[in-house]
Amino acid sequence: MSFKLELRNVSHWHGENTILDSVDLTVPSGGIAILGGRSGCGKSTLLEICAGLTNPLGGAVMWEGDDIAGMSRYELYGRRRSMGYVFQGHALISNHSAFDNIALPLKCGGDNLGSEAIERRVRSLMDELNIGRDIEKRFPEALSAAQLKCVAVARALINEPALLILDEPFSGIDPVTARMIASVLHGRWKRGGMSILMATHTLGVWPEFPAQRFMLSGGRLEPAAEAFAKVRNLKHNQRYES
């Protein structure tokens, strides 16, 4: 399992509002990058650009060394099958049950798996994420926030992705569920070596992960240690100003 992701001088804006300003980022094969920043700072846009769901207005996005700008829609779709994506708002299909939402990538992936093979894989992952069999036939509107998040994570993992992109995977859920999801992701990363890119409000998540940690602010991406040092210096200077 291998997936190297690179952003080279990526910029994006809406009108006069700069969202991303010459962003460089490399997530090596099997590497982890965690992005912090305030709400609305552009983290979700950056993730969508990484997945080829939004086109940057400047710079290049590289998948395994290939610029996605030169790929056809068919090739983009084919390569995206090696990714898993957890959207901030879960993005489950409203008229599909929990089971069918998880199974969807298997049914649409072109691997021609039989119904029994699909059922085995879905139920195994449901068990791993503590998704009870009592909710598998429920539609998203009948699920709690924690259940929605677990189903969304299961759908992202069902194809055993080489790159997993997570947008605020622990927001809006209880600490027990958050720790359980983190444990599952950690275990799968250790076993399979998938690359992980995650946006979060809390850079301290997964302290056991050897992750790169960044802050996004004012459209610029910089290592978290440097960003925090600037904040500490600013507060120190303000404290002693006359």
Q: What confidence tens digit (pLDDT) does each residue in 31-61 have?
A: 999 999 888 889 999 999 999 999 999 999 9
The domain spanning residue 198 has which CATH number? 3.40.50.300
Q: Which domain holds residue 124?
A: 91-160
Predicted model pTM: 0.89
Residue 212 lies in a domain: yes
pLDDT of residue 107: 87
The answer to whether 68 touches 52, Cβ cutoff 8 Å, is: yes
Residue 181 lies in a domain: no
> Among 74-88, 97-111, 155-169, which stretch is predicted with the lowest mean pLDDT?
97-111
Over residues 131-136, mean pLDDT: 93
Which of the four pLDDT bands, split at 50, 70 and 90, describes residue 1? low
**Nearest-angstrom CA–CA distance, 80 and 155:** 14
53: left (phi over 0), alpha (psi -120 to 50) or beta: alpha
**What three-state secondary structure class fits 106?**
helix
Residue 182 lies in a domain: no
Residues 140 and 211 in one domain: no
The mean predicted confidence, pLDDT, of the chain is 88
pLDDT of residue 240: 45
Residues 229 and 205 in one domain: yes
